[in-house]
Amino acid sequence: MTTEQRIEKLELELNAAKCRTRWILAAFCLTAGGLLFSCAISKPTDEIRARKFTVIDDQGRERITLGMPKDNAPALMLYDENGKPRATLATDKDGPMLGLLDGNDHVRVALLANRDGPRLGLLDENGKPRATLATDKDGPMLGLLDENDHVQVVLATTQDGPKLRLDDANKKACAMLTTSMTGPTLFLLAESGRGATLSAAHDASSLALSDENNKPRVTLATTRSGPTLTLNDENENNRIRLSIDTKRAELALADENGKIRASLITDDDRMGLALADENGKTRAALGSNKSDPFLVLNDKNGKTFWSTP
């Protein structure tokens, strides 16, 4: 199950739990004939049978009710001094549920457990879920939602490792942080489709920038041998490559077919510029070694027809 499906399922379960709490409240209000007991009972009784029990305070106000208001499902209700229900504990075929309400009869906290696992939901004053915490066979998950029921933040564990995702107002992922056996990765995605990916592994790290078609256009990477900068065209062909290792630095320019047409190389012994044709054969080379500069011209077969010195 994907993270999106897990969040959607959790929202449905929390809304169902909210409806269950309201149903219980309504059922308690309609239930009559509650039994009242006090400390005046002098002789203990082994068994008491009733459909509803009510406990009142010194002012005669209902503060606790215990009964079977819905489908033979037991429920316990706690009221405040104003007669407002503030907590309910119930269980039915869907599992046990604890609901905490505010002074306006709105469920603000819902804790439930079903066959998929425990769920905790925090709701706003309008009864909309704003924070959800759950765990199931896929692992724990935390979701934060805006006032329009759009998921904005998701923190979850998956088979590949933990994941943190940030969504925009259009329900599109705009940032994601993941980690796996190879290392952490950060994804950034703009509304236009342009994105950036930053990753780190045991022996390498990289930064990749993509265009609006999600094609990588710029890649900066570093490995044990050294850093490399690569620029791609819209067809994902490498057109410019700059690399540095322990022995030399190289700048390579390629055509639309990926053939290197010009390269500039420098190392401890020499520096040189090489120009190649569309077949990748070197046609001209200009450089300088430790002793003298040189110029070499080759024909289309790669044979030298002129050089100096």
Q: pLDDT band for position 79 (50/70/90)?
A: very high
Higher pLDDT, 199 or 17: 199
What values do phi and psi take at 97, rounded to 5? -150, 135
Contact 224, 205 (CB under 8 A): no
CA torsion sign, 144 to 149 to 152 to 156? Answer: positive
* Per-residue model confidence (pLDDT) at position 15: 67
Contact 111, 118 (CB under 8 A): yes
Long-range contacts, stretch 242-248, CB < 8 angstroms, 24+ apart: none
Q: Looking at residue 105, what DSSP letter applies?
A: S
Q: 3-7, 26-30, 251-255, 256-260: lowest mean pLDDT where?
A: 26-30
* Per-residue model confidence (pLDDT) at position 272: 94
* Per-residue model confidence (pLDDT) at position 1: 64
> DSSP string covering 223-290, please?
ESS-EEEEEE-TT--EEEEEEE-SSEEEEEEE-TTS-EEEEEEEESS-EEEEEE-TTS-EEEEEEE-S
Q: Is the pLDDT of residue 34 over 60?
A: no
Structure tokens at 307: 């050089």
Q: CA 11 from chain center: how many Å?
A: 16
**Taking residues 235-246, what's their average pLDDT?**
93
The 3-state DSSP class for residue 12 equals helix
For a pLDDT cut of 90, what percent of the chain falls above it?
A: 55
Q: What is the CATH number of domain 1-147?
A: 3.90.930.1
Q: pLDDT band for position 25 (50/70/90)?
A: low
Nearest alpha-carbon partner for 282 in 267, 261, 266, 253? 261
Q: Is the pLDDT of residue 300 over 80?
A: yes
**Taking residues 121-128, what's their average pLDDT?**
91
Q: Is the pLDDT of residue 38 over 80?
A: no
Q: Looking at residue 210, what DSSP letter applies?
A: E
**Taking residues 294-309, what's their average pLDDT?**
91
Nearest alpha-carbon partner for 228 in 212, 209, 243? 243
pLDDT digits (tens, 9 = 90+) for 39-67: 444 566 778 888 889 999 999 999 999 98
Contact 238, 259 (CB under 8 A): no
* Per-residue model confidence (pLDDT) at position 170: 82
Element (H, E) at 23: helix 3-30
Q: Is the pLDDT of residue 36 over 90?
A: no
Q: Strand pairing partners for 195? A: 189, 210
Q: Is the pLDDT of residue 258 over 90?
A: no
Average pLDDT of the residues of the chain:
86
Q: CA–CA separation, 309 vs 211, rounded Å? A: 47
Q: Is the pLDDT of residue 29 over 80?
A: no
- The residue type of 261 is R
